[in-house]
Amino acid sequence: METQQPALRTEALCKSFGSLKVARDVTIELPRGARHALIGPNGAGKTTLINLITGEMRADSGRIALDGRDITQDPTMARVRYGLTRTFQINTLFPDLAPIEAVTLAICERERLAGQFWKGLTAHREAIDEGFEILRQLQLAEVAIRPTRTLPYGQQRLLEIALALATRPKVLLLDEPAAGVPKGESAALFSVIAALPDDISVLFIEHDMDIVFSFATRIIVMVSGGVLLEAEPAVVRSDPRVREVYLGRASHA
Ligand SMILES: Nc1ncnc2c1ncn2[C@@H]1O[C@H](COP(=O)(O)OP(=O)(O)OP(=O)(O)O)[C@@H](O)[C@H]1O
């Protein structure tokens, strides 16, 4: 369900490295429940935009609002507390922990950061129950107690999303969530992402156009640090500028 207040809005974000402009007046909106893809050729500025939104990189100018709250000046950890979470292109998991251990730890960390010091077995029980519920959402319940290193890579990527969900995000930024996953398994991974609850808005970077056009409800096309077009998949597919700079050039984004 979309409401008037977007879950995330950036306004005229700019960032330069010396003379190289990597973000040019980037204004985007993510409505509640969005499943938006961010695409563009290599070096277009997609990961940079995610870094600017999370606060890992500071914009030279522009504003960012999460659920109407201006977070432009807030550090990354505060943004996570307000509900803005990301995943990375590379695997950042602990190989010897089981998924339920990793997710439960992430939940306990969230509670600690929120200033609620959990005491006693009941509280831990609640964290474990919540952890199982998250793993169930990501179809990982059956492998909950296996060491992470023994899981197929696609399930490891889902576990990274599970850890992100442990922060209770309103907005989830996924930087190539299927990177490294065999092509035949990406669609299954994206169906799980698409089926996340509607109160989580998702922006994902993905190079595989079949996946993008199957799972994105809208597509933001970036070129040279700027937004070329933001539209529904059918409009993006038939836009001559997109074909020229991007789709017609190569299968790799
Ligand atoms: N810390 C940095 N210092 C200097 N230049 C940088 C830095 N980070 C990114 N860049 C440059 O900014 C531009 C955008 O990079 P970015 O990684 O955001 O592109 P991308 O669209 O995510 O590319 P890819 O699809 O290859 O991941 C590139 O020219 C890159 O070399």
Query: What CA–CA distances, in Å, run from 210 to 147, 188, 226, 230?
Result: 32, 13, 23, 18
Q: Is the pLDDT of residue 119 over 70?
A: no
Number of neighbouring beta carbons within 10 Å of residue 57: 17
Pair 100, 148 in one domain: yes
Whose C-alpha lies nearest to ligand 1, atom 28? 43
196 close to ligand 1 (CB < 6 Angstrom): no
Q: Is the pLDDT of residue 147 over 80?
A: yes
C-alpha of residue 70 to centroid of ligand 1, in Å: 25
Quick one: pLDDT band at residue 251, thresholds 50, 70, 90? very low
Domain end point (choices 130, 153, 168):
168
Pair 193, 236 in one domain: yes
Residue 248: predicted pLDDT? 55
Pair 159, 178 in one domain: no
Pick the closest to residue 81 from 102, 95, 67, 97 (CA basis).
67
- Owner of token pair 């009941």: 122
For the sheet containing 35-39, what is the strand order? 84-87, 171-175, 201-205, 35-39, 218-223, 226-231
61-66 and 8-17 beta bridge pairing: antiparallel
Domain end point (choices 136, 168, 200):
168
Mean pLDDT on 12-38: 96
CA distance 168 to 166: 5
Q: Is the dihedral of CA 99, 103, 109, 112 positive or negative?
A: negative
**Residue at 251: amino acid letter:** S
Pair 164, 176 in one domain: no
- Owner of token pair 């998702």: 202
Quick one: pLDDT band at residue 253, thresholds 50, 70, 90? very low
Q: Is the pLDDT of residue 194 over 50?
A: yes
pLDDT, one tens digit per residue, over 123-136 is 788 899 999 999 99
Residue 85 token pair: 């979470």
Which letter does DSSP use for residue 245 in this model? I
Domain end point (choices 140, 168, 196):
168
Q: Is the pLDDT of residue 150 over 80?
A: yes
Q: Is the pLDDT of residue 1 over 60?
A: no
Please check whether residue 166 is in contact with residue 134, taking contact to mean a CB–CB distance below 8 angstroms: yes
Pair 97, 59 in one domain: no
Please check whether residue 181 is in contact with residue 157, taking contact to mean a CB–CB distance below 8 angstroms: yes
Residue 70 token pair: 């201006």
12 vs 90, residue with greater confidence: 12
pLDDT, one tens digit per residue, over 175-188 is 999 998 988 889 99
Mean pLDDT on 87-95: 80
Rounded to two decimals, the ipTM of the complex is: 0.94
Angle at 44 between CA 201 and CA 30, to 5 degrees: 15
Q: What is the mean pLDDT of the chain?
A: 90
Pair 60, 106 in one domain: no
Residue 252: predicted pLDDT? 44
Which letter does DSSP use for residue 249 in this model? T
22 close to ligand 1 (CB < 6 Angstrom): yes
Q: Which range marks the domain in which residue 121 is found?
A: 92-168
Which CATH number goes with the domain that contains 28?
3.40.50.300
48 close to ligand 1 (CB < 6 Angstrom): yes
19 close to ligand 1 (CB < 6 Angstrom): no
Structural domain count, the chain: 2
100 close to ligand 1 (CB < 6 Angstrom): no
**Residue at 176: amino acid letter:** E
Mean pLDDT on 189-218: 94
Residue 15: predicted pLDDT? 97
Pair 164, 174 in one domain: no
**Percent share of the chain, pLDDT over 90:** 78
Q: Which atom of ligand 1 is nearest to the CA of 49?
A: 18
Residue 184: predicted pLDDT? 84
Reduced DSSP (H G I as helix, E B as strand, rest coil) percent helix, strand, coil of the chain, to 5 = 40, 25, 35
- Owner of token pair 């319940």: 141
